[in-house]
Structure 1
Amino acid sequence: MDFNTSIPTAKRLERLQYENPWWLTGQVQQAYTEMSKRLYFKLFYPFVKETEIKRAVVLMGPRRVGKTVMMFHAIQELLAENIAPKKIFFIGIDNPIYMQLGLEEILLLAKDAVALNNLEDCFVFFDEIQYLKDWERHLKVLVDFYPKTKFIVSGSAAAALRLQSSESGAGRFTDFMLPPLTFHEYIHLKDLGHLMQAKSIKYDDKEIPFLLLTTIKHLIKSFSIT
């Protein structure tokens, strides 16, 4: 059986509408809006908004570090800045419903789902890009063919290694590596800043800031499961 032809287009359009609720509501799913942003978001988001340089943003990192959540936070920020909801697409490439489709075919389905005449000034998020064979070649074609569209993709650490060994994306991709949660971010997310005291150390004529723990009692308690 040809899995590609066995899935009706209507079902794929239905899935796209489910993945992009802001097309109707203007809002990202509540589950994501209630999550705190990682401190790396402030570094990542400017790459999302950069449209003068014609490059796709490739968000890389190990599994379960929060790449998908960061993408939804970026969408939330775009909506807050009055980017038209129907000009923001989110597509999870790991869903079997898109099997055997190229990135451009999926992109054009999303375009049809919101009845856009063109893709100018659109922000397109492809999640779990490593599930598409030769994804870097597909993405390169999109960057070249749709210069007025911004593409942001997420990929695993394995996809990062593949990208580094390939020349196909040279000059067309901006890599952003998201590491696992740092201790500093843990303090931030748990709102434990009051337990830390800002200090600095002088090294090579530069003041290097760091945080010093003032008490360990409450920090240990924050790790407890109640």
Structure 2
Amino acid sequence: MALVTNEQVIKALRNYNPWWRNPSAAKEEDRPQHRVAYHETLRIMQHKTIRRFAVLSGARRVGKTTILYQIINHLIDNGVNPRNIFYATFDNPVLKMAGVDMVLSAYDSMYPVEG
């Protein structure tokens, strides 16, 4: 028997990704100042010939999530389908118990990535 259900994972993901329902929802968490890490992360993500992940790491409470919301807003403002933007934190006990594979599978079952 699974520790968490697919429905619990989907509920958590919907809470973490309000732009799936309302594309302007991430703007509520946005800040007007963009730090160097924001620009560097965008540069890495938008590189045309090298496909890779951009990893933001750092101590707690230094602004990693703020930078992610700024990037999410940038992507939505530049035409990326909000349902192709996925955010999850494994500090959440439901997602932590579910594990990466189950979380990604739940997301894919909700919104298969387009484009």
Same fold (TM over 0.5): yes
Instruction: Give TM class, smaller chain.
Output: 0.7 to 0.9
Once the two structures are aligned, what percentage of the paired residues are identical? Answer: 24
Whether the aligned pair in 2 keeps the contact of 1:17 and 1:113 (CA below 8 Å) is no
Q: Which runs of 5+ in 1 are unaligned?
A: 122-226
Name 2:109's counterpart in structure 1: 112
Instruction: Detail structure 1 runs of 4+ shifted over 4 Å in the superposition.
Output: none
How far apart in 1 are the matches of 2:5 and 2:21?
Answer: 22
Match of 1:25 among 22, 26, 36: 22
How far apart in 2 are the matches of 1:70 and 1:15?
Answer: 21
Identify if the C-alpha distance between structure 1 residues 52 and 93 changes in structure 2 by more than 3 Å, giving closer, same or farther.
Answer: farther
How far apart in 1 are the matches of 2:74 and 2:12?
Answer: 23
Name 1:37's counterpart in structure 2: 33
1:63 Cα deviation after fit: 1.8
1:53 Cα deviation after fit: 1.2
User: 3-state SS of the aligned residue for 2:91?
Assistant: coil
Structure (1/2) with the larger strand percentage: 1
1:27 Cα deviation after fit: 2.0
Question: How many positions carry a matched residue from both structures?
Answer: 114
Name 1:49's counterpart in structure 2: 46
How far apart in 1 are the matches of 2:91 and 2:107?
Answer: 16
Normalising by structure 2, we get a TM-score of 0.84
Name 1:84's counterpart in structure 2: 81
Name 2:69's counterpart in structure 1: 72
User: 3-state SS of the aligned residue for 2:25?
Assistant: coil
Whether the aligned pair in 2 keeps the contact of 1:28 and 1:75 (CA below 8 Å) is no
Structure (1/2) with the larger helix percentage: 2
Whether the aligned pair in 1 keeps the contact of 2:45 and 2:52 (CA below 8 Å) is no
Identify if the C-alpha distance between structure 1 residues 120 and 31 changes in structure 2 by more than 3 Å, giving closer, same or farther.
Answer: closer
Larger Rg: 1
Larger RCO (alpha carbons 8 Å, 6+ apart): 2
Normalising by structure 1, we get a TM-score of 0.46
How far apart in 2 are the matches of 1:100 and 1:25?
Answer: 28
1:96 partner amino acid? P
Alignment pair present for 1:101 and 2:95? no
Identify if the C-alpha distance between structure 1 residues 100 and 7 changes in structure 2 by more than 3 Å, giving closer, same or farther.
Answer: closer
